[in-house]
Amino acid sequence: MLEHFFSPKTVVVVGASREKGKVGHDILKNLVQYGYKGRIYPVNPKAEEIVGLKTYSGLNEIHDKLDLAIIVVPAHCVGEIIDECAEKKIDSIIVISAGFKESGVEGAIREQYLYQKITRHSMRLLGPNCLGLIDTQSCLNASFAADMPEKGNIAFFSQSGALCTAILDWAADECVGFSKFISMGNKTDINEVDLINAMHEDENTKVILGYLEGVKNGKDFIAVARKVSKKKPLILVKSGGTAAGSKAASSHTGTLAGSERAFDAAFKQSGVIRAHTIEQLFDFARIFSYQQLPKGARVALVTNAGGPGIIAADAIERSVLKMAELSKDTIETLRRSLPSMANVYNPIDVLGDAKSDRYRFVIENVIKDPNVDAILAILTPQAMTEIEKTAEVICEIANRTDKTIATSFMGGKRTESALKIMCQKKVPNYPFPERAISAIEAMYKYTLWQKKPAPETKKIVADEESVRTVFNQIKKTGAAYLSEESARHVISAYGFAIPKSIIATSEADAAKAAEDMGYPVVMKISSPDILHKSDIGGVVVGVKNEQEVKGHFSDIMRKARHHMPEAEIKGIMIQQLVAGGKETVLGVSYDPQFGHLIMFGLGGIYVEVLRDVTFRIAPVDINEAREMIREIRSFPLLKGVRGEKSVDMDAIVENILRLSQLVTDFPEIIEMDINPLVVFPEGKGAIAIDARIAIHVQQNKRIGGNAF
Amino acid sequence: MIPIFIASLSSLSGKNLICAGLGLKLKKDGYNIGYFKPVGFSPVFVNDILTDKDAVFLSQALEVNEPLQSISPIIFTEDVLNRLVKGETLNIRKKTIEAFDLASSGKDIMIVRGIGRLTCGTCLGFSELDFITEFDAKVIFIDKFESYIEMLDGFLYASKILKEKLLGVVFNLVPPSKLDYMKNTIRPFLKNNGIDTLGIIRKDPFLKATSIRDIMAALNGKILCCEEKADELIEHFVIGAMNLESAMRHFKKIPDKAVITGGDRSDIHVAALETSTKCLILTGDLYPNASILGRAQEMNVPVMVVSDDTATTIEKCEKLSDTIQLNNMSKIQHATEIMEKEIDFKTIYGKLGLLK
């Protein structure tokens, strides 16, 4: 798959140029200059020779099998070249040229044609409007970047070409090497999913990095990321998460940046390691590229300065990592040999006068400690510090241990040459301890992800047919929202417990219903047109006797008629009053890239203020449902405080799965909430008091248009 | 020749709809039909003749090849009113009768479209009721569903006056939630009062839709891409002034909409393009980014730039859809389909003594 892009035997550059500084020249020069071993064919009808290569006036003049075509001609000529490529049976194409979708209407039409041609001829296309790609293994620099990166085990793909050039420049200074380096451009054909797949199979790639502004197909993305992340770390920066950022992304690419919560959930569910900044992307990349994964969360700090040690300890405490508790043996060994002033408990303070031998002694011993999974060695350049020598020592140890080692040599000028050493010997150094800790944390989280058991699902027994009938009925009326009765019917068909309720159309009926149900009861206006019942005084809770029922009946009716004279009123719902339990909320929203998002959180009247909610993309499995419950800040409240019994967690899990099943069976649901879902103590279940469902009203046949 | 008079209790109630539907049905069944509009209220200048907009449109829709002067002999203008109040004799009765004779010659059935109540035209000296009596026309009343009392009063009163001339009544623009009520309660009630309900037509957003071209004309806008889609119809106008998340939530629930927003809200533009949107209306004379236009082209959604601000634009658009008439071929086609389904042609044919 895509092998002609990364290791072609022959490459043709259409639009090769004699003029230095032109893209068509730089690409050819890069191909020649960095030692690509395959055959290169420049095409330019006006030139005879460019950078020492014989030039051809057209593709048909080349009598060789061509693997990869790089097209650098003006946008309006690209289509014609593609046809010629098809005749030559070239299956892999890179279009560097700009002037497509990103440039407006004409460009968009051009890109559509381009896509049609590509699919018709079963070709694969990278770009258009991209920087090109680099594969260091085959020494192929099919880009107009100014440099060739060092060989390494990091693969990088980016939706921004300009960002690529900046990173290449930076990487040269930081000894960061790459296996593959790809600019995706407009993603007309090849997109992140294809590239992640290709990098997954590439044995020279250990870590996959990417910069994304959005994904083309959310479900495909999750599927591929889930598969790949079990084998290799997939670290991504996704920009456009804020209002300003998404606006900028929209005007950059003309696509949705995608909702932050959907991406957040997608990344969590597919094991993607999310970097929040480009700096973090490479902080993480280096440790994953150089080091082994920690087996646990316990970190030992070795420092020659108290302050940075405390800072690092704080950072550990704030992360999912733990401060390692050194074994008695280690502590004894350290105590016997270190100066008495030294702290032999974690963080281990080797004191300001520590030379390289003291670092060696401590690190070698700490590494043997079974209570330690990772070590961060902190160094500040003090008067007696042997900076380079210490670096050498740490690198030497790091290269023979299977535990994770990172360093934080703090400073600037004086640490410069030590950093070079660590750079070359592949020990990740961070200028400050917090960054080192967050890199180790990313590794540990990844370890957890890899250990995660296979998803466990549960088939919910549901009355799908009756729900379909309800939805079909609603679609006929053209309404988006279901009436409360229909919504109750739908959720109960999927096994949600709901309170008993009866619709009464007269005072006498209401009184009888309440009598049968047992006081106290709740009374609610029943109308498909009134969504916010309490806003118009349409809900009374705790009605205690017949007289009250009759009084409220007429009062609610009057209010409803007064506030919403046009509304169709079906009567008044008499509902069993549910007492006790804790209020939670379940919800569904629809994301255009990823599909349905399931929400769980603390319910009740403060839900809007506290926003203590969490999201997952449907379908949700049992483990994910459990994670959702544990993830909200109010989890301790659900577990019970001050001797309270825990709520019925299994019932919540079960209900999350029911909701997930419902929206999977019925993609037309675009919005839904069950608020509150009252959860009782362990073993007592949960009951859905109120439900609201909006479905997508299908368009009639006569109207084309987009999917919703 | 049978004249069928289409009357209503109020304006914009669906008279064109029933004229078109009935006319096309009769034509399909092999009758030679004509169209007549005694008084034109929407003057328009076509081929050097001052005539009526509906008359032009319906005569085209029904393919009635008669001179426009005989289809709509009287065009009510300010000038006509002035002459009338000054006491000039306008001979409206005579002109109407002559024109009708011309228009109806050789026809099996004439569809005559009234303009409002039966009393309309009284000041001209020849009211709708006069016309009906003069030509012994059969009458179908249509009205939009609004308030029960006024509608029922109107129908019952009309029945009292027209007696057996009234073929029946049609309810138009009935909200889906009221359909059962109309069928099970109102229809029997009218039947008991001797009135046949010939149809209960539910509110259909498509029939209230406005074409993108009409919007462009009303707003003096400029279409930047996909102009070939300018005849598509817009059913809903939505303002995009909220944050992206609310916009997405909102947009998803409204199919076939036009989104009105500022030219600088690229996030809203994209949200609109990702949901079911038929037109993007950008206000304040702010042009969108090239990549947005590219995306719009890719999704086949016309983008229109207008100089008004968002508030003014929505106001104009709403006014536009409030006064919408059945004057678009794709709507006519749709209307005919509805009529075939919802109108009780059997009763109509029976009462008119037609065979099929």
What pLDDT score does A26 carry? 95
Flag whether pLDDT at A704 surpasses 50: no
DSSP state of B184: I
Span B139-165, average pLDDT: 86
Mean pLDDT taken over chain B: 87
* C-beta separation of A448 from A295 below 8 A: no
Better-scored residue on pLDDT, A172 or B258: B258
Suggest the residue from B147, B177, B226 to mutate for an interface test with chain A (most A CBs closer than 10 A).
B177
Share of chain A above pLDDT 90, in %: 76
Residue B217 sits in the same domain as residue B179: no
Task: Give the pLDDT confidence score for residue A457 in this predicted structure.
Answer: 84
Q: Is the dihedral of CA B270, B272, B277, B278 positive or negative?
A: negative
**For A218-271, what is each residue's pLDDT tens digit?**
999 999 999 999 999 999 999 988 888 888 888 877 777 778 889 999 999 999
What residues are paired with B277 via a beta bridge?
Answer: B257
d(CA A280, CA B127): 83
| pLDDT at site A302 | 97
Confidence at residue A708, expressed as pLDDT on a 0 to 100 scale: 37
Residue B192's Cβ-count burial label (10 Å; 0-12, 13-18, 19+) is: exposed
Residues of B with CB below 8 A from A248's CB? Answer: 266
Cis bond leading into A592, ω under 30°?
A: no
Nearest CA in chain A to B293: A104
- Output the CA torsion A525→A526→A532→A533 (10° steps): 10
- What pLDDT is recorded for position A702? 36
For the ranges A121-130, A439-448, A465-474, the lowest mean pLDDT is seen at A465-474
What's the confidence (pLDDT) of residue A705? 33
Q: Is B145 helix (H, G, I), strand (E, B) or coil?
A: coil
Q: Residue B261 sits in which domain range?
A: 210-322
Residue with structure tokens 């037609």?
Answer: B354
| Contact status of A480 with chain B (Cβ, < 8 Å) | yes
A611 close to B (CB below 8 A): no
Which of B177, B291, B301 is the closest to A528 by Cβ? B177
**Chain B contact for A252, CB < 8 A?**
yes
The answer to whether the CB atoms of A105 and B299 lie below 8 A apart is no
pLDDT reported for residue A487: 92
| A254 neighbors B295 (Cβ within 8 angstroms) | yes
CB contact under 8 A, B292 and A243: no
Q: Give the pair of three-digit tokens for residue A198.
A: 């290709």
- Which of the residue ranges A65-69, A592-596, B12-16, B192-196 would you say has the lowest mean pLDDT? B12-16
> Mutation test of the interface with chain B: which of A250, A599, A693, choosing the one with the most B Cβ atoms within 10 A?
A250
Average pLDDT over residues B217-235: 91
Does the distance separating the beta carbons of B292 and A250 come in below 8 Å?
yes
Distance from CA of A256 to the nearest CA of B (A): 6
Task: Report the relative pairing of strands B197-202 and B166-174 from DSSP bridges.
Answer: parallel
Task: Tell whether the model's pLDDT for residue A703 goes beyond 50.
Answer: no
pLDDT band at A175 (very low <50, low <70, confident <90, very high): confident
Q: Find the angle CA(A234)-CA(A239)-CA(A240) to the nearest 5 degrees.
A: 145
Same domain, B142 and B267: no
User: What is the reported pLDDT for B324?
Assistant: 60
Contact between A103 and B294 (Cβ < 8 Å) = yes
Helix, coil or strand: residue B121: coil
Residues B242, B256, single domain; the answer is: yes
Contact A246 B267 (CB under 8 A): yes
Question: Which position has the token pair 């003049």?
Answer: A61
Structure tokens at A447: 């370890």
Mean pLDDT (whole number) for A104-117: 94
Length of chain B as a residue count: 356
Task: Answer whether residue B110 shows pLDDT above 90.
Answer: yes
Please report, rounded to a whole number, the percentage of residues in chain B having pLDDT higher than 90.
38
Does A700 score more than 50 pLDDT? no
Task: Tell me which residue in A250, A568, A590 faces B270 most closely, judged by beta carbons.
Answer: A250
Q: What is the mean pLDDT of chain A?
A: 92
Contact residues, chain B to chain A, C-beta under 8 Å:
176-178, 205-206, 224-225, 243-245, 248-249, 252-256, 265-267, 269-271, 273-278, 289-299, 301, 330, 334
Residues of A numbered 460-479 whose beta carbons fall under 8 angstroms of chain B's beta carbons: which are they?
A: 476-479
What's the pLDDT tens digit per position in A357-366? 999 999 999 9
Q: Are residues B233 and B159 in the same domain?
A: no
CATH number at residue B306: 3.40.1390.20
Reply yes or no on whether the pLDDT at A353 is more than 90: yes
pLDDT at A698: 61
Report the pLDDT value the prediction gives residue A562, as an integer from 0 to 100: 85
With vertex at residue A526, the alpha carbon angle to CA A523 and CA A529, rounded to the nearest 5 degrees, is 140
Whether residues B312 and B242 share a domain: the answer is: yes
How far is the C-alpha of A435 from the C-alpha of B104, rounded, in Å?
91
What long-range pairs does A81-88 form, CB within 8 A, spacing at least 24? A81/A14, A81/A15, A82/A114, A82/A117, A82/A118, A82/A121, A82/A123, A83/A117, A84/A58, A84/A59, A84/A60, A85/A59, A85/A121, A85/A123, A86/A117, A86/A120, A86/A121, A86/A123, A87/A59, A87/A60, A88/A59, A88/A60, A88/A62
Contact call for residues A628 and A600 (beta carbons, < 8 A): yes
Does pLDDT of A663 surpass 80?
Answer: yes
**pLDDT higher than 70, residue A46:** yes
Residue A244 at interface with chain B, using a CB cutoff of 8 Å = no
* Nearest residue in chain B measured CA to CA from A528: B177
Q: Which domains are delineated in chain A?
A: 3-205 (3.40.50.720), 293-451 (3.40.50.261), 500-576 (3.30.1490.20), 582-695 (3.30.470.20)
pLDDT at A547: 92
Asked if B175 and B226 sit in the same domain, the reply is no
Higher pLDDT, A148 or A533: A148
Q: How confident is the model at residue B321 (pLDDT cuts 50, 70, 90)?
A: low
Contact B245/A259, CB-based, under 8 Å? yes
Q: Return the pLDDT at A289.
A: 94
* Same-domain status, B231 and B134: no
**Torsion sign across C-alpha atoms B104, B107, B113, B118:** positive
Which chain A residues have a beta carbon less than 8 Å from that of B249? 589, 671
For chain A, positions 588-607, list CB contacts with chain B under 8 A.
Answer: 589-592
Q: How confident is the model at residue B147 (pLDDT cuts 50, 70, 90)?
A: low
pLDDT of residue A701: 37
Residue B263 pLDDT exceeds 80? yes
- CATH number, domain with residue B43: 3.40.50.300
Name the range with the highest mean pLDDT among A286-300, B63-77, B160-174, B206-220. Answer: A286-300
What 8-state DSSP symbol labels residue A7? S
End-to-end CA distance of chain B: 16
- Contact between A254 and B205 using a beta-carbon 8 Å cutoff: no
Least confident among A82-86, A254-258, A314-318, B225-229: A254-258
Given this model, what pLDDT does residue A240 score?
87
- Specify whether B176 is located in the same domain as B216: no
By DSSP bridging, strand A691-695 and strand A686-688 are: unpaired
Q: How is A640-679 classified by DSSP, letter by letter?
A: -STTPPPB-HHHHHHHHHHHHHHHHH-TTEEEEEEEEEEE
pLDDT (average), residues A310-324: 97
Helices (H), B253-289: 266-274
Q: How confident is the model at residue B326 (pLDDT cuts 50, 70, 90)?
A: low
Residue B50 sits in the same domain as residue B94:
yes
**Which tens digit of pLDDT belongs to each residue from A7-36?**
999 999 999 999 999 999 999 999 999 999
Q: Are residues B311 and B340 in the same domain?
A: no
Tell me which residue has tokens 């087996």.
Answer: A295
**CA contacts within 13 A on the Cβ side of A290:** 26
Nearest to A415 by CA among A431, A399, A397: A431
- Peptide bond just before A381 cis, omega within 30 deg: no
- A127 class by beta-carbon count within 10 Å (0-12 exposed, 13-18 middle, 19+ buried): buried
Note whether A75 and A110 are within 8 A (CB).
yes
> Which of the four pLDDT bands, split at 50, 70 and 90, describes residue A436?
very high
Beta carbons of B276 and A706 less than 8 Å apart: yes
**Contact A100/B at CB under 8 A:** yes
Domain count, chain B: 2
State mean pLDDT over B320-338.
72
Distance CA B155, CA A491 (A): 45
Same domain, B150 and B20: yes
Strand partners, B170: B142, B199
Strand partners, A589: A597, A671
Examine the domain organization and report whether B14 and B149 are in the same domain.
yes
For the record, the structure tokens of A340 come out as: 């008495």
pLDDT tens readout for residues B20-61: 889 988 998 999 999 999 888 777 888 788 888 878 888 888
